[in-house]
Structure 1
């Protein structure tokens, strides 16, 4: 998303987290927020300032969310960074490595 000042509405934050299948605890950790604040925000029971919203957006983007800003034709939204084929390939590559050991080279 080009607009880096985009403040994520609570419903979009919750949708992005559900789409990326990440717990609110993990998103909060990456965003350096209290898990209870993230959960409350998602449920419309709390607010975040601009810096906190920015960190939350960056954390969700880290987990693969791509935010779409509202324009004249449609509303805001979220989608996955990778399509299902690429995601499956990434999961396969990660699973093929076996245990990591030190190189003797």
Structure 2
């Protein structure tokens, strides 16, 4: 959801996070990745303007920074 909100393709996000496109695809399929890899991808998304919202009764989510 975060990648789509930014209008990034899998390859775009992979490049920003310095990981392979396959790694991004695995994350999106829900496969288990090393915590450091997940943190790297999350940091790339946050740098690009995503804010992750903790679960608050309606489930976790994302929004774009203003």
What is the TM-score when the length of structure 2 is the normalising length?
0.85
Gapped runs of 5+ residues in structure 2? none
In structure 2, distance between residues paired with 1:58 and 1:64: 10
Q: Which residue among 59, 62, 66 is the counterpart of 1:75?
A: 59
Q: Which protein shows a greater Rg?
A: 1
Describe how 1:31-70 pairs up with structure 2 within 5 A: 31-44=17-30, 46-70=31-55
The count of aligned residue pairs is 66
Divergent runs of 4+, >4 A:
none
In structure 2, distance between residues paired with 1:26 and 1:47: 21
Q: How big is the shift at 1:47?
A: 2.1
Gapped runs of 5+ residues in structure 1? 1-14, 83-105
In structure 1, distance between residues paired with 2:15 and 2:27: 15
Which has a greater percent of strand? 2
